[in-house]
Structure 1
Amino acid sequence: MNRMQRGTAPVVLGVLMTGGLLAAPLSAQEPAVGEPPPPLPPEGTPLVFVNTQVILPIAPGADSAQAAFQLVLNEFDLELQDRAAEIDSLLAAYRQQESLLDPAGREQKQQEILLKQQEAQARQQELNLESDRRRTELLAPILERVTAVIDEIRAERSYSIVLDLTESGVVAADAALDITPAVLERLGIAPDPSASTSGR
């Protein structure tokens, strides 16, 4: 049997990362009154691209989705912290009583603590999966709206293919083929002119 030696540190329970639902938003600004929409590639262009990494963090609904997701993470973090505190308390009590316990008593206490550690680790894995599910759930309506706008532009301009730079692995592309500004404009967001979306 594994023995807990005096001074052995408890299993460290890593709390869920408090990372964002989306990538950190690039700066954006309210659309300027009378400002012309950004130019689009010519109609019928076979291949154009969009950068959803720029769009999603500032898309309509992103702020509320991020706030809701942070509440979920906070709730999960608190649960894991409570479990870690319980294990710390059990370890502290065991170390105080260890010299008074017979071998069978020590073995029993050790097994109780190990069981709590295993339960906490299993629960952490469950919460990681649940956080992924909740992230997908919160992102779904935002992605649906952005995808619809991209497809509207594609159909209106008779583009054959729209690549997403975020997922395509493209290292660099001609900015003249970028429809990201047009997607942002149609969503009611004016992009920061100093922010590059083409990877160049």
Structure 2
Amino acid sequence: MRRSLAPSQLAKRKPEGRSCDDEDWQPGLVTPRKRKSSSETQIQECFLSPFRKPLSQLTNQPPCLDSSQHEAFIRSILSKPFKVPIPNYQGPLGSRALGLKRAGVRRALHDPLEKDALVLYEPPPLSAHDQLKLDKEKLPVHVVVDPILSKVLRPHQREGVKFLWECVTSRRIPGSHGCIMADEMGLGKTLQCITLMWTLLR
């Protein structure tokens, strides 16, 4: 069918006076389209649904336009040392049972001499005379990652956990307790963070 013979095209030409064989067609019922006024279009453009809020800046951090102010803001966050976010929390030292205090001399949670052990901190060597002077409850010990976690860590993830530990404990940058992980997807940032948090909480 030609487009000029389509019913939609014929209806446009009927008001011009051409005859049509359609008996049901009434010229008075065909009304031309009205153009919308500029005021109506402005109202429609300005209308916003109550369920759709306009985009706004988050107010959870102060807007720092100057780089020095931004660095000071980040430095104030990193200057706070890590602590367990539970008031009056006293976690177990080595056992998996909660609420049980280990008796005896303070020692590492896991064996640092075990094969493939991930040691995050090695205390300075002390002589037997120095060990007698120090308090047994404050004696520095090895910090070893749980072997269940260290066995599944890949080599670059083990290095990442060591790096995170040094940053959080202010050993890499004095006065800063934290870091930002910005690796690509799929390198195991989540597993590294979980390993670090589990070790710190233990």
Larger RCO (CA under 8 A, 6+ residues apart): 1
TM tier relative to shorter chain: under 0.3
TM-score w.r.t. the length of structure 1 is: 0.20
Q: Which has the higher helix share?
A: 1
* Structure with the greater alpha carbon radius of gyration: 2
TM-score (norm 2): 0.20
